[in-house]
Amino acid sequence: MVLVGVMNSVPASAQARPSRERGLETTAVLAANALFGGLTAAGRAIIEGKNPVRAFGLGTVGGALHFSAKIVSAKREPLAAPVGLILGGLGSSLVSNGGQGLGALENISLPIGPFRIRLAPSQRSSPIRIGISIYEAAVIGRYLFDRDLRIDWHRTAALGTLAFETRGKYLVVAHGDTADGTSTASILVFSALATEPEMTERHETTHVHQHWFLEENWGRPIEASLRRLTPGISWLPAWVELGFVTPSILWLEQTAFGYRQGPLVRLEESEAEWFERR
């Protein structure tokens, strides 16, 4: 996720802009990603009583790496998107580690669909753990029983996250609107009648990156606090990750500001639209 509201005014055709203008835009989006990563890490460090200056530095590096991951994912080359998602996981992990006052690579989280591969090289007893997001698993279950959708295995392999496609129909989203694609957490749905499928893939894959970043750096810390404070869920094993915090934040924003009008979703859309035109 990135602070790029100014990108709303960018022309629709990337090829139509001079290369110098495109270079300035790329620099601006890179800087915004780095700043957002730094501020996220520093904010968490202040809450947890860690060094915010060190956290900001490490978070800035993580934010820049997260931006480069989205650049890689936007390329139409074999394995580009899966490699980009791995880089995005590393970038998010740097931000998270910085906020906790940990070493840069002390904990690494690599998302694969609803699963999380969590690596802790310094912990010899359990250096690898596997987690699963209950929220994302529930979304997948809902889509599997939707007769109007089928799993798109080709896109799933190409994009590095689970993708569905409509069965020869338009994709209907909120408020009865139709769309070429949509994303819910890390799960993608595409219309079989999409007019710009490649642009839609880049757009929606960017949303997957944004979700994983927010879930790792906003959702997990809040969920960890809820686990400690709520008797009803404190007994859940660590590998069961609820994953409801980030969707709840977006739902609360929509309730307060209206459909697609909140500041967070507008910033996410601005960045996704910028990447789709690359």
Q: Per residue in 175-232, pLDDT tens?
A: 778 889 999 999 999 999 999 999 999 999 999 999 999 999 999 999 999 888 887 7
DSSP 8-state symbol, 105: T
Q: How far is the C-alpha of 17 from the C-alpha of 29, rounded, in Å?
A: 16
Strand ranges of the sheet holding 181-184, from the earlier edge strand across to the other edge: 149-151, 163-166, 187-190, 181-184
Q: How far is the C-alpha of 118 from the C-alpha of 127, rounded, in Å?
A: 8
* Selection from 198, 181, 207, 210 nearest residue 278 by Cα: 198
Separation of first and last alpha carbons in the chain: 17
**What pLDDT was estimated at residue 126?**
78
**What pLDDT was estimated at residue 23?**
73
* Selection from 95, 34, 108, 71 nearest residue 209 by Cα: 71
Radius of gyration of the chain, Cα coordinates, nearest whole angstrom: 19
Residue 15 has pLDDT above 70, yes or no: no
Residue type, 261: Q
Secondary structure (3-state) at 124: coil
Residue 133 has pLDDT above 50, yes or no: yes
Residue 18 has pLDDT above 70, yes or no: no
pLDDT digits over 96-108, tens only?
A: 999 999 999 899 9
**pTM of the predicted model, to two decimals?**
0.88
